[in-house]
Every structure is written in C-alpha cells, then in structure tokens.
Amino acid sequence: MTERLDATSAVALLNALAQPTRLEVFRLLTRYRPHGLAAGDIGRLLAVAHNTLSSHLSALEQVGLLVSRREGRHIIFAAQPHRSDALLAFLADACCTQVPRDCPPVADPAFPSRKDVTEVDRPLHVLVVCTGNSARSIMAEAVLNREGLGRIKAWSAGSRPQEAPHRLALGLLAELGYEISGYRSKSWDEFLGPDAPDLDLVITVCDDAADDACPTFPGVPMRVHWGLDDPAQAVGPQEAQRAVFLKSYRELTSRVSAFVNLPFETMSIVDLERLLHEIGKMDGATRKSLEMAA
C-alpha cells in the first residue's frame, strides 16, 4: 500500500529532487533497484566528483529516497521507490486521479546489495556503430562492457573510422576509471567477414550511420537507433569541449543503465526491440532518433 504523506514531507521530497544531479541520481538508482550501486559507481556513471556527490546522496537519504549500507570498502546506495510513489499519490490526490501503482516490494530494503558479475554461457553480443568510431560509440562500448556485468559483450565500429579515438573521449573514460588501452577506431567491415563475432544487436548512435548505407550485419535480429549529437564536433576552449563530451557520456550512460537492467534474457525479440527503441527516445535524442522510434 502506498505511504501517505503530509504536506511537510511532500515539500521535503520535492526540495530534495529539485536539483538536476540529485534527480539523476535517483533516476539512475531506480533503474538499478533493488540491488543498488556503490557511491563510486554512481559518480562514474554520472561523471560527478566524489565530494559533490556525497552531499547529494546525503540529501536524498535524509528524506528517505535512498537507503545505504557499508559493504567492505564500499557504501552501497539503493532507491526507495515507495517514497516517490507516495509523492505522486500526494500530488494526484488533489485532482482525484488514480493513485500510482506500487512498485513490487523489496526484501529487506534497508540493506541493498550490488549486482555481481554473472557467468553466462553466451553474453548478448552488441555492436555500437557511428561514423568515425572515435567518441560516442567508443564511450558506449566501454560503458556497456562494464555495466553489462558479463551479460553483454560489446564492440564498436564506424563507417568512416578516424585514425584513433578522440583524445577527450579516452581522457574522460580514463578519468572515470575505465581501462582504455585496447580501444581503437575501426571499420564496420571487420564485423562483416566470416571471422566476425555473431552479433545479436546493432545500435547506431549517429544519424549518418543509421541511414540506408549501414550494412546488413549477418544474422543480426535487432537494430535500433540511439541518435545523439556528435561531441567531436564541439569547438571552442578545452573546458567547453570537455563539457560537451560529459553531456554525451551522461546521455549514453542513462541509456545503457536502462538497457542493462532489462531482463533481456527472458524477453521476446519483439518486446526487447520495442523497449530499446523507447530507450533511444531519452533525453538528448536527435530528431531522427525520435522519428525512427515512433
């Protein structure tokens, strides 16, 4: 049953969520419920410095939107969706609309645990494609492989690959704790030959790569478009360019975190493809991405 709030509690929840980083923290942890994430992983996925993140986590925990516990050297945080349900119910009560459906109960919600790497016979094989294979697709490959926790194996490629990945893309990934030594810009032709890995899903992240020129990869049952603006086109001072890469990284991590928390192993191709198209419409989507997902 949905918790009932009074006006004072509702104001406290609204105040806690009325800040962009805190709102994104809660949305991210809602995708990872009930397992939660370590504070370091939250900071990496949102590209937020530790000292800044700590104050936001504390503000959310104080109003009951998050709970935490220590696990070894890590502090694990998990979303408490019944609190946001209660807020929605409080707001809806004024206009007599239907009370939001409760989220399924979580066993012992005060003690969330992180997801572990899963051993599977064969992970989902994903290829991320853009034009230059220097920025968006490289970052998406890195995040998919790390967040997939053994359930996903990702590669990236481009239609007209650059000589090397963009220095700001690699620099940002390294700063956030990703291993970057093996990344290179490569042609999608490497995934068309007889020795190429069997692919399950192709994700295009730039509009040019989503055009008809994109080849038909052998045996691929799904192809979706997550169109995002190219951060490599940013000009101006170094800090301004880095800010564009940060924005692109955050847009990618929001999509990847939504994807990896789907039970895709047990979903039909039709249902999974539909949800992946919906993910492509998240904040930052290009006009073409919205049109293709319609």
pLDDT tens digits for range 124-144: 999 999 999 999 999 999 999
pLDDT at residue 250 tops 60: yes
- pLDDT bracket for residue 100 (50, 70, 90): very low
Question: Is residue 188 domain-shared with residue 259, that is, in the same domain?
Answer: yes
* Structural domain of 40: 7-93
- The CA dihedral of 78, 79, 80, 82, to the nearest 10 degrees, is -150
pLDDT tens digits for range 117-128: 777 889 999 999
pTM value is 0.85
Report the number of distinct structural domains present in the chain. Answer: 2
Question: Which residues, in sequence order, are CB contacts of 155 under 8 Å at separation 6+?
Answer: 125, 126, 127, 128, 141, 191, 197
103 counts as catalytic: no
User: What CATH number has the domain bearing residue 221?
Assistant: 3.40.50.2300
Residue 268 resides in a domain: yes
pLDDT tens digits for range 33-89: 888 999 999 999 999 999 999 999 999 999 999 999 998 889 999 999 888 888 888
Question: Is residue 25 domain-shared with residue 128, that is, in the same domain?
Answer: no
206 counts as catalytic: yes
pLDDT at residue 95 tops 60: no
Question: Is residue 183 domain-shared with residue 42, that is, in the same domain?
Answer: no
Catalytic residue (choose from 95, 96, 103, 206): 206
Question: Is residue 285 domain-shared with residue 200, that is, in the same domain?
Answer: yes
At residue 117, the pLDDT reads 76
User: What CATH number has the domain bearing residue 82?
Assistant: 1.10.10.10
Question: Is residue 80 domain-shared with residue 147, that is, in the same domain?
Answer: no
At residue 222, the pLDDT reads 93
Tell the residue number behind the tokens 């004024």, with chain if given: 94
Question: Is residue 86 domain-shared with residue 161, that is, in the same domain?
Answer: no
Domain boundary among 51, 78, 93: 93
- The CA dihedral of 263, 214, 210, 179, to the nearest 10 degrees, is 60
Residue 2 resides in a domain: no
Distance CA 91, CA 54 (A): 29
